Structure 1
Amino acid sequence: MPGTISTPPPHYGFRQNCTCMHPRKKMGMMHMTFFWGHNAEVLFDRWPGTDPKMYAVSLAFVFAMAALVELLSCCKLIGRAGSDCNFAAGIFRTVLYTVRCGLNYMVMLAVMSFNGGVFLAAVGGHALGFLAFGYRACKKSGGVGSVKERTDLPPTNC
Protein backbone atom coordinates (compact mmCIF):
# COMPACT_ATOMS: atom_id res chain seq x y z
CA MET A 1 0.00 0.00 0.00
CA PRO A 2 1.34 3.39 -0.86
CA GLY A 3 1.95 5.75 2.03
CA THR A 4 2.36 3.09 4.75
CA ILE A 5 5.54 2.85 6.74
CA SER A 6 6.80 -0.60 7.54
CA THR A 7 8.45 -1.04 10.90
CA PRO A 8 11.24 -3.52 11.41
CA PRO A 9 10.39 -6.63 13.41
CA PRO A 10 11.13 -6.42 17.14
CA HIS A 11 14.49 -7.77 18.27
CA TYR A 12 14.39 -10.39 20.95
CA GLY A 13 17.68 -10.80 22.77
CA PHE A 14 20.91 -9.23 21.58
CA ARG A 15 21.24 -7.56 18.21
CA GLN A 16 24.26 -8.45 16.13
CA ASN A 17 25.07 -4.88 15.12
CA CYS A 18 24.37 -3.11 18.40
CA THR A 19 26.97 -0.48 19.21
CA CYS A 20 25.38 0.57 22.48
CA MET A 21 28.26 -0.27 24.81
CA HIS A 22 31.33 0.75 22.86
CA PRO A 23 31.32 2.82 19.69
CA ARG A 24 33.84 0.63 17.82
CA LYS A 25 32.87 -2.77 19.19
CA LYS A 26 30.01 -4.88 17.91
CA MET A 27 28.09 -6.95 20.45
CA GLY A 28 27.54 -10.57 19.63
CA MET A 29 25.55 -13.33 21.18
CA MET A 30 26.68 -14.46 24.60
CA HIS A 31 26.30 -18.10 25.52
CA MET A 32 23.91 -18.68 28.39
CA THR A 33 24.24 -22.47 28.41
CA PHE A 34 27.30 -24.70 28.44
CA PHE A 35 28.87 -25.31 25.07
CA TRP A 36 31.86 -27.32 23.89
CA GLY A 37 34.55 -26.14 21.56
CA HIS A 38 37.72 -24.11 21.40
CA ASN A 39 36.12 -20.98 19.94
CA ALA A 40 35.45 -19.14 23.21
CA GLU A 41 36.38 -16.00 25.11
CA VAL A 42 37.86 -16.66 28.53
CA LEU A 43 38.47 -13.72 30.88
CA PHE A 44 39.78 -11.27 28.24
CA ASP A 45 38.44 -9.89 24.98
CA ARG A 46 39.33 -12.13 22.00
CA TRP A 47 41.33 -14.53 24.20
CA PRO A 48 42.05 -17.36 23.44
CA GLY A 49 40.53 -16.71 20.03
CA THR A 50 40.07 -19.49 17.51
CA ASP A 51 43.47 -21.17 17.88
CA PRO A 52 43.18 -24.58 19.59
CA LYS A 53 46.67 -24.18 21.09
CA MET A 54 45.72 -20.93 22.80
CA TYR A 55 42.54 -22.60 24.04
CA ALA A 56 44.70 -25.28 25.66
CA VAL A 57 46.81 -22.52 27.24
CA SER A 58 43.66 -20.87 28.62
CA LEU A 59 42.52 -24.21 30.10
CA ALA A 60 45.93 -24.67 31.73
CA PHE A 61 45.75 -21.12 33.08
CA VAL A 62 42.33 -21.69 34.65
CA PHE A 63 43.50 -25.04 36.03
CA ALA A 64 46.57 -23.42 37.61
CA MET A 65 44.53 -20.58 39.12
CA ALA A 66 42.11 -23.04 40.72
CA ALA A 67 44.97 -25.15 42.11
CA LEU A 68 46.66 -21.99 43.44
CA VAL A 69 43.45 -21.06 45.27
CA GLU A 70 43.59 -24.42 47.04
CA LEU A 71 47.27 -23.93 47.87
CA LEU A 72 46.56 -20.52 49.40
CA SER A 73 43.62 -21.99 51.31
CA CYS A 74 45.76 -24.62 53.00
CA CYS A 75 49.23 -23.09 53.27
CA LYS A 76 51.08 -22.33 56.47
CA LEU A 77 53.76 -19.76 55.75
CA ILE A 78 53.88 -17.86 59.03
CA GLY A 79 55.04 -19.49 62.26
CA ARG A 80 52.60 -19.30 65.15
CA ALA A 81 55.15 -18.49 67.88
CA GLY A 82 54.64 -14.83 68.68
CA SER A 83 53.36 -13.93 65.22
CA ASP A 84 49.66 -13.72 66.11
CA CYS A 85 50.09 -10.15 67.38
CA ASN A 86 52.69 -9.14 64.81
CA PHE A 87 51.47 -6.32 62.54
CA ALA A 88 53.62 -7.49 59.61
CA ALA A 89 52.15 -10.99 59.86
CA GLY A 90 48.67 -9.48 59.80
CA ILE A 91 49.49 -7.47 56.69
CA PHE A 92 50.96 -10.58 55.02
CA ARG A 93 47.83 -12.61 55.84
CA THR A 94 45.67 -9.81 54.46
CA VAL A 95 47.65 -9.78 51.21
CA LEU A 96 47.36 -13.58 50.91
CA TYR A 97 43.63 -13.39 51.59
CA THR A 98 43.21 -10.67 48.97
CA VAL A 99 45.15 -12.66 46.36
CA ARG A 100 43.09 -15.78 47.13
CA CYS A 101 39.82 -13.84 46.79
CA GLY A 102 40.98 -12.30 43.51
CA LEU A 103 41.94 -15.69 42.13
CA ASN A 104 38.59 -17.12 43.23
CA TYR A 105 36.78 -14.39 41.34
CA MET A 106 38.96 -14.90 38.25
CA VAL A 107 38.13 -18.63 38.24
CA MET A 108 34.45 -17.78 38.67
CA LEU A 109 34.54 -15.33 35.76
CA ALA A 110 36.33 -17.89 33.60
CA VAL A 111 33.61 -20.45 34.33
CA MET A 112 31.03 -17.82 33.39
CA SER A 113 32.26 -18.13 29.81
CA PHE A 114 29.98 -21.21 29.85
CA ASN A 115 32.59 -23.29 28.06
CA GLY A 116 32.51 -26.93 29.17
CA GLY A 117 36.28 -27.31 28.95
CA VAL A 118 36.87 -24.26 31.14
CA PHE A 119 34.40 -25.60 33.70
CA LEU A 120 36.14 -28.97 33.80
CA ALA A 121 39.57 -27.28 34.06
CA ALA A 122 38.38 -25.21 37.04
CA VAL A 123 36.85 -28.18 38.84
CA GLY A 124 39.90 -30.32 38.06
CA GLY A 125 42.26 -27.63 39.35
CA HIS A 126 40.33 -27.35 42.60
CA ALA A 127 40.24 -31.14 42.96
CA LEU A 128 43.93 -31.67 42.27
CA GLY A 129 44.85 -28.68 44.43
CA PHE A 130 42.86 -30.06 47.34
CA LEU A 131 44.36 -33.52 46.83
CA ALA A 132 47.88 -32.10 46.77
CA PHE A 133 47.56 -29.46 49.49
CA GLY A 134 44.31 -29.66 51.44
CA TYR A 135 44.11 -33.39 51.99
CA ARG A 136 47.59 -33.49 53.52
CA ALA A 137 46.73 -30.60 55.85
CA CYS A 138 43.61 -32.44 57.00
CA LYS A 139 45.50 -35.71 57.42
CA LYS A 140 48.35 -34.14 59.44
CA SER A 141 46.05 -32.23 61.74
CA GLY A 142 43.81 -35.18 62.53
CA GLY A 143 40.58 -34.17 60.81
CA VAL A 144 38.77 -31.73 58.64
CA GLY A 145 37.60 -29.61 61.57
CA SER A 146 41.12 -28.68 62.63
CA VAL A 147 42.32 -27.37 59.26
CA LYS A 148 41.44 -23.85 60.39
CA GLU A 149 44.14 -24.07 63.05
CA ARG A 150 46.83 -25.11 60.56
CA THR A 151 46.42 -22.49 57.86
CA ASP A 152 47.20 -18.80 57.68
CA LEU A 153 43.87 -17.87 56.09
CA PRO A 154 40.29 -18.57 57.08
CA PRO A 155 38.58 -21.36 55.09
CA THR A 156 36.69 -20.51 51.93
CA ASN A 157 32.93 -20.72 52.07
CA CYS A 158 32.16 -22.90 49.08
Structure 2
Amino acid sequence: MTMMKPLALGLATAALVAGAAIAESHAETPPAVGARKAQMQLYAFNLGTLGAMVQGNMDYDADAATAAAGNIVKLSTLAAGPMWAPGTGADAVEASRALPAIWENMDDVISKAMALNEAAMAMETAAAEGLEPLQAAMKDLGAACGACHKEYREPE
Protein backbone atom coordinates (compact mmCIF):
# COMPACT_ATOMS: atom_id res chain seq x y z
CA MET A 1 0.00 0.00 0.00
CA THR A 2 2.80 2.43 0.82
CA MET A 3 4.31 1.88 -2.64
CA MET A 4 1.06 3.08 -4.21
CA LYS A 5 1.31 6.58 -2.73
CA PRO A 6 4.69 7.44 -4.31
CA LEU A 7 3.57 5.89 -7.58
CA ALA A 8 0.31 7.86 -7.57
CA LEU A 9 2.17 11.03 -6.63
CA GLY A 10 4.70 10.44 -9.41
CA LEU A 11 1.98 9.85 -12.00
CA ALA A 12 0.09 12.94 -10.88
CA THR A 13 3.26 15.03 -11.12
CA ALA A 14 4.03 13.64 -14.58
CA ALA A 15 0.49 14.42 -15.70
CA LEU A 16 0.79 18.01 -14.45
CA VAL A 17 4.15 18.51 -16.17
CA ALA A 18 2.86 16.99 -19.42
CA GLY A 19 -0.30 19.09 -19.22
CA ALA A 20 1.73 22.25 -18.74
CA ALA A 21 3.96 21.36 -21.70
CA ILE A 22 0.95 20.73 -23.92
CA ALA A 23 -0.68 23.98 -22.81
CA GLU A 24 2.55 25.89 -23.48
CA SER A 25 2.88 24.41 -26.99
CA HIS A 26 -0.71 25.45 -27.77
CA ALA A 27 -0.16 28.90 -26.27
CA GLU A 28 2.37 29.66 -29.01
CA THR A 29 -0.39 29.76 -31.64
CA PRO A 30 -3.32 31.97 -30.64
CA PRO A 31 -6.73 30.30 -31.02
CA ALA A 32 -7.70 32.85 -33.69
CA VAL A 33 -4.77 31.77 -35.86
CA GLY A 34 -5.49 28.10 -35.29
CA ALA A 35 -9.15 28.60 -36.21
CA ARG A 36 -8.44 30.40 -39.46
CA LYS A 37 -5.78 27.83 -40.39
CA ALA A 38 -8.37 25.11 -39.80
CA GLN A 39 -10.84 26.97 -42.00
CA MET A 40 -8.21 27.23 -44.76
CA GLN A 41 -7.44 23.51 -44.44
CA LEU A 42 -11.12 22.72 -44.88
CA TYR A 43 -11.21 24.94 -47.96
CA ALA A 44 -8.17 23.10 -49.33
CA PHE A 45 -9.66 19.68 -48.60
CA ASN A 46 -12.86 20.46 -50.49
CA LEU A 47 -11.05 22.26 -53.30
CA GLY A 48 -8.89 19.15 -53.62
CA THR A 49 -11.95 17.06 -54.46
CA LEU A 50 -13.18 19.59 -56.99
CA GLY A 51 -9.71 20.12 -58.44
CA ALA A 52 -9.18 16.39 -58.91
CA MET A 53 -12.39 16.24 -60.95
CA VAL A 54 -11.55 19.37 -62.95
CA GLN A 55 -8.07 18.02 -63.79
CA GLY A 56 -9.34 14.56 -64.71
CA ASN A 57 -7.58 12.86 -61.80
CA MET A 58 -10.94 11.74 -60.43
CA ASP A 59 -14.14 10.84 -62.23
CA TYR A 60 -16.76 13.57 -62.17
CA ASP A 61 -19.36 12.77 -59.51
CA ALA A 62 -22.19 15.27 -59.21
CA ASP A 63 -23.00 14.29 -55.61
CA ALA A 64 -19.39 14.54 -54.42
CA ALA A 65 -18.84 17.78 -56.33
CA THR A 66 -22.02 19.32 -54.94
CA ALA A 67 -21.12 18.26 -51.40
CA ALA A 68 -17.61 19.73 -51.66
CA ALA A 69 -18.90 22.95 -53.21
CA GLY A 70 -21.61 23.17 -50.55
CA ASN A 71 -18.94 22.87 -47.86
CA ILE A 72 -17.05 25.76 -49.45
CA VAL A 73 -20.22 27.85 -49.43
CA LYS A 74 -20.69 27.10 -45.73
CA LEU A 75 -17.06 27.91 -44.96
CA SER A 76 -17.36 31.21 -46.82
CA THR A 77 -20.34 32.22 -44.68
CA LEU A 78 -18.72 31.66 -41.29
CA ALA A 79 -18.72 34.69 -39.01
CA ALA A 80 -14.94 34.81 -39.26
CA GLY A 81 -14.35 38.25 -37.71
CA PRO A 82 -13.06 36.86 -34.40
CA MET A 83 -10.52 34.75 -36.31
CA TRP A 84 -8.91 37.93 -37.62
CA ALA A 85 -8.14 39.57 -34.29
CA PRO A 86 -5.63 42.43 -34.42
CA GLY A 87 -2.20 41.33 -33.33
CA THR A 88 -2.43 37.89 -34.96
CA GLY A 89 -0.62 38.68 -38.20
CA ALA A 90 2.68 37.33 -39.47
CA ASP A 91 4.48 40.27 -37.89
CA ALA A 92 3.35 39.15 -34.41
CA VAL A 93 2.73 35.39 -34.60
CA GLU A 94 5.18 32.94 -36.12
CA ALA A 95 2.43 30.52 -37.18
CA SER A 96 0.58 33.22 -39.12
CA ARG A 97 1.02 34.19 -42.77
CA ALA A 98 -1.52 37.02 -42.59
CA LEU A 99 0.05 40.30 -43.68
CA PRO A 100 -0.56 43.45 -41.60
CA ALA A 101 -2.28 44.97 -44.65
CA ILE A 102 -5.38 42.94 -43.74
CA TRP A 103 -6.07 45.15 -40.74
CA GLU A 104 -5.22 48.29 -42.71
CA ASN A 105 -7.64 47.44 -45.56
CA MET A 106 -10.47 45.58 -43.85
CA ASP A 107 -13.11 46.98 -46.24
CA ASP A 108 -11.22 45.45 -49.18
CA VAL A 109 -10.80 42.16 -47.31
CA ILE A 110 -14.54 42.04 -46.63
CA SER A 111 -15.24 42.81 -50.30
CA LYS A 112 -12.95 39.95 -51.34
CA ALA A 113 -14.66 37.63 -48.84
CA MET A 114 -18.03 38.51 -50.36
CA ALA A 115 -16.66 37.78 -53.85
CA LEU A 116 -15.43 34.41 -52.57
CA ASN A 117 -18.90 33.62 -51.25
CA GLU A 118 -20.49 34.54 -54.60
CA ALA A 119 -17.99 32.37 -56.48
CA ALA A 120 -18.62 29.51 -54.04
CA MET A 121 -22.37 29.71 -54.59
CA ALA A 122 -21.83 29.69 -58.36
CA MET A 123 -19.55 26.66 -57.90
CA GLU A 124 -22.25 24.85 -55.94
CA THR A 125 -24.74 25.39 -58.77
CA ALA A 126 -22.22 24.38 -61.44
CA ALA A 127 -21.11 21.29 -59.51
CA ALA A 128 -24.46 19.62 -60.11
CA GLU A 129 -24.62 20.58 -63.80
CA GLY A 130 -21.63 18.67 -65.16
CA LEU A 131 -17.89 18.68 -65.60
CA GLU A 132 -17.67 21.62 -68.03
CA PRO A 133 -19.67 23.99 -65.81
CA LEU A 134 -17.59 22.80 -62.86
CA GLN A 135 -14.38 23.61 -64.73
CA ALA A 136 -15.60 27.10 -65.60
CA ALA A 137 -16.72 27.80 -62.04
CA MET A 138 -13.39 26.56 -60.66
CA LYS A 139 -11.57 29.33 -62.53
CA ASP A 140 -13.73 31.99 -60.87
CA LEU A 141 -13.44 30.39 -57.44
CA GLY A 142 -9.66 30.12 -57.80
CA ALA A 143 -9.49 33.78 -58.82
CA ALA A 144 -11.54 34.78 -55.76
CA CYS A 145 -9.26 32.82 -53.44
CA GLY A 146 -6.14 34.15 -55.14
CA ALA A 147 -7.28 37.77 -54.97
CA CYS A 148 -7.11 37.74 -51.19
CA HIS A 149 -4.05 35.50 -50.87
CA LYS A 150 -2.05 37.56 -53.36
CA GLU A 151 -2.47 40.79 -51.39
CA TYR A 152 -2.87 39.61 -47.84
CA ARG A 153 -0.94 36.36 -47.34
CA GLU A 154 2.78 36.07 -46.81
CA PRO A 155 4.43 33.60 -49.24
CA GLU A 156 5.71 30.33 -47.76
Give the TM-score taking structure 1 as reference length: 0.31
Give the TM-score taking structure 2 as reference length: 0.31
Structure with a larger share of its residues in helix: 2
Higher Rg = 1
**Higher RCO (Cα < 8 Å, 6 or more apart):** 1
